[in-house]
Structure 1
């Protein structure tokens, strides 16, 4: 058995198209060729492989070589609370932070990641102690801007006391963050998460200088020992790289008018130029099948808001008339939600709307959820909103009962992700059609199927539907307990 831990950190990524076939175990070959052929099953075909990687990097491996896939989601709500109470000695402060996270869908969703809990605790601890602050950050962009400010303040207080009177930012920190941002963005485009010392030097980042900024760089980078004894660095979490990349792209656009997302410079009027800049980022992220630019785009959209731009005062000289494109972006994203056939992509776009402080579709769907049964057929946007609300709810569904949604023939197709995320699903009076069985069979045959009870009374399946359903029921992974 081979265990490949952190496959996404391999440099360069695996190439399954051009790597030659290798079957001879004694033939000398490169690490990449050996790895690819172990995964293909060409080399040591009876070997077992266990591979860990970040979700965004799973698509490195073609699906035909994957037998089963498991997602480990991180902290439960209970573990989040435990973390904050242990991390912060002040019990009242910890309670305030836990309460605030509970009111913010964006922060609550991200806090299942342990590192994100650390970032959140670092920021909210400082913000709550600052008597001048009246509002706590609610979105990811706000939080990460505050995180950056906290790091720079700590660094200035410890190493540069003479610049405290000149504001948070100075020419040295501005230069370093632009260099860091350029590294973050260009390496993100190449899907690189790890960097050698020579990579940092190429971007003008001096390691010795960086070491004098422990609050900014030692916390941001971690150094690892590797076999060839070269110094290897990475950001503490991929989201920090994505935030710095978005900040760099935003600052370059604001200062020089260059759209690094499209690699172009436009002669359009300011408002049209802004629209093109943000729309190109949204469209490019949506073109990606694995969503690797989603978080980068989320931060970039967040930086379009005046409130977040104000938090960056001192890092760039703000002009008087910065076009506000929030309404246009919201409409553009909503149109993409309506047109998207993918539930997964729709959910990703709802996070973008949250970053723009737009919750109109969520509020609309909450009205439908207040009734005992969903009486009305929903539009594709409303179904997407419903799924987003259910999946990002603090409430974990121990049992998901389909009765509330049974009147719609499209319900099963849309609600499959919610049912898969619950511990136990019940399908009663489910208004199944022949087409519904196409979505029901994967639920029955899934390795970790949560479907326990199925009621087939008053359904219009036809012979084809029954054949499909029979296939699902015969599956050795079917865990159905009650069939009516």
Structure 2
């Protein structure tokens, strides 16, 4: 594995490339619940993941990806690792291989074969045996017989989302012999299912939206790369920047811009930011330090042109010409949803392959030439966000220099129609900036997966005057424009008012931020700071602003209390507000919904929100709401989810029935190890409290405080509770049984518990 002995961060075209081992910061990887498809915007996922606490899920180190966690005794053969673009999936794979090649980790594995889907796609029309495939891709494996059990083998298939093969796992076609030829898709499926080399380990990486391509029954562990959490962001820059004073300055600058600091959740963005800011802050340089995404990426583009000038390249091609052509490729492929493209696509845009190679910091070639296996050269941009930035630059310059709106289709005309237009005085109608922007906004809103979201932010950022000055050193702009962004901002605000999607609203608020318009956000911030939010009659756009402000402010997400947003006496209005704020609720660690008139419908919506992010919530207060059996069943379904980490549950005076309590007790028996405080006071539980004793006597139960005041607990119920505490006496420190008719026998039962030397009860009343 010599090619993995010197892996570099980012691109090796930098003047001083940084070895991966020197800079690597442990990524936050967690065990995930399933490999299901995700329809959320990637930008929305980035927003969500950047706020998750490091303690919310079980973290797994990269090198432990195939090792069972404590309490797991089943062997792990196939791992599927999910993560949004640029979050560190490929880096994790490279680090795993590097540590293995250096003899540091996973030495029980004798052979590792990394086969990225980008390369596998180029063989989709070929028939090969597994032995042939490996001999061609890894010539050094010719002397090995991988079918023999003496070798423990790992296959790594990186980038399932880029797969162009027909992976039909319902097909009966299966392969068992490594020397038998078949199509490459059959080879892969047979490996993944386990018919071919059943003892081999399989590691697949994918963006979330493509994870469904491999059936869940074929996967033994699903993990998710969450990128950098808050401490890891700072750790990266302190490792990456040798001057710690400069590192501190860079960290402080990034923290001053919320949109930039959120993006630092993505390792690739950290690399781009470090590359730009180290250059700008390490020398006396005029110009504004980047404060927006667009500024950061444009400075990175300028740096790449400077690197290109230092290369031995003699062809007469200007930066402007080639960048514009690369931008055209970027835009065309982005609209098609393609992350990879071919030599033919470059030629169609007037780009010579040699020309593209000098910009390897932006666009890179991804193919091997061994034995002529690959007939076409394949390319991609270093990261999706770089493709989006170049695409936006192309669209902006088409408007600026050629008076063209690329979103308007070019219609075919007859010769006479063209001749007629030629003589029209108004044939060169001015395309306004507002028209271009409004069309781009509308196109982005029609995208279900958000593939134009960052593109839209970049496009709007290019129109800001300060950015025009920055571009002058890089690009010729043939016409000046008096167009302003005021109409664009108003169009975006209008869309925020009418769209019913928090995810899309969040991106539009970031777009307003690129334009420098924070009017809606500032208005809501004033409401929140003054405490007048509950008195205001907020419009739909203002509610969207509330969601945006809360989701981008860590301080506000520690606790969600409905009282802040609506008067609790107005029960119907409470439920309307609750529905609007569900995106905030599911991201909050503490949810306070006491005495808000929660209905079964409201409880269903709440339960759905909490199920979508069960591991985040720590405290839930539903006291003084009349919860029927259906509400309790919905709540209990969430509590028994193994990913639920709820620690405090308050159900004071909720009218819990025997049926509802039975569902709750069953849920706590299924998932007993996280709850620390439970308040069931003023609910007529009677003898059904016995069901709680089954929870308490479970050795996994860690309940510390239990309140059962005025619950109709009888001597029988008291005896059951006491018996459970004798079985598991070491956790409960506080127990309230006030206002229950306990006879002498009930009291005597607890006297026996208190005498137990392992009993930790400190308060009993």
Q: Give yes or no for TM over 0.5.
A: yes
Partner residue in 1 for 2:38:
none
| CA distance, structure 2, for counterparts of residue 5 and residue 384 of structure 1 | 38
> Cα distance, 1:184 vs. partner?
0.9
1:175 and 2:328 correspond: no
Give the one of 416, 423, 429 matched to 2:582.
416
Partner residue in 1 for 2:462:
303
Q: In the alignment, is the contact (CA less than 8 A) between 2:614 and 2:638 conserved in 1?
A: no
Structure-to-structure mapping, 1:48-447, within 5 angstroms: 52-54=205-207, 58=209, 61=212, 72-129=225-282, 131-156=284-309, 172-211=318-357, 213=358, 216-218=359-361, 220-221=363-364, 223-225=366-368, 228-229=373-374, 231-264=377-410, 269-270=429-430, 273-313=432-472, 315-319=474-478, 321-371=480-530, 374-376=533-535, 377-393=537-553, 399-402=558-561, 405=564, 407=566, 408-422=574-588, 424-429=589-594, 431=596, 432-446=598-612
* Mean Cα deviation higher: 370-379 or 85-94: 370-379
| CA distance, structure 1, for counterparts of residue 605 and residue 191 of structure 2 | 33
Q: In the alignment, is the contact (CA less than 8 A) between 2:578 and 2:602 conserved in 1?
A: yes
Q: In the alignment, is the contact (CA less than 8 A) between 2:560 and 2:592 conserved in 1?
A: yes
- 5+ residue gaps in structure 2? 1-76, 81-156, 412-425, 567-573, 652-765
Which of the two has greater helix per residue? Answer: 1
| CA distance, structure 1, for counterparts of residue 169 and residue 632 of structure 2 | 45
> Cα distance, 1:305 vs. partner?
1.7
> Cα distance, 1:94 vs. partner?
1.7
- 5+ residue gaps in structure 1? 163-169
Higher alpha-carbon Rg: 2
* Mean Cα deviation higher: 375-384 or 348-357: 375-384
| CA distance, structure 2, for counterparts of residue 201 and residue 345 of structure 1 | 36
| CA distance, structure 2, for counterparts of residue 111 and residue 90 of structure 1 | 20
* Aligned CA-pair RMSD: 4.0
Partner residue in 2 for 1:23:
172
Q: In the alignment, is the contact (CA less than 8 A) between 2:175 and 2:190 conserved in 1?
A: no
Task: Report Cα offsets for 1:20-56 as digits up to 9, x if no partner.
Answer: 96234359986568989999x9x99xxx99864335x
Q: In the alignment, is the contact (CA less than 8 A) between 2:175 and 2:186 conserved in 1?
A: no
TM-score, normalised to structure 2, is: 0.53
Quick one: structure 1 residues 327 and 460, their matched pair in 2 at CA, closer, same or farther if it must change by over 3 Å?
Answer: farther
Task: Report Cα offsets for 1:262-299 as digits up to 9, x if no partner.
Answer: 324895853x6322211111101100111111111111
SS of the residue 1:195 aligns to: strand
> Cα distance, 1:385 vs. partner?
2.1
| CA distance, structure 1, for counterparts of residue 397 and residue 189 of structure 2 | 40
Q: In the alignment, is the contact (CA less than 8 A) between 1:372 and 1:404 conserved in 2?
A: no
Quick one: structure 1 residues 374 and 71, their matched pair in 2 at CA, closer, same or farther if it must change by over 3 Å?
Answer: farther
| CA distance, structure 1, for counterparts of residue 233 and residue 287 of structure 2 | 24
> Cα distance, 1:420 vs. partner?
3.3
> Cα distance, 1:115 vs. partner?
0.9
| CA distance, structure 1, for counterparts of residue 619 and residue 493 of structure 2 | 36
Q: In the alignment, is the contact (CA less than 8 A) between 1:362 and 1:385 conserved in 2?
A: yes
Q: In the alignment, is the contact (CA less than 8 A) between 1:383 and 1:414 conserved in 2?
A: yes
| CA distance, structure 2, for counterparts of residue 383 and residue 69 of structure 1 | 36
Give the one of 423, 428, 450 matched to 2:616.
450
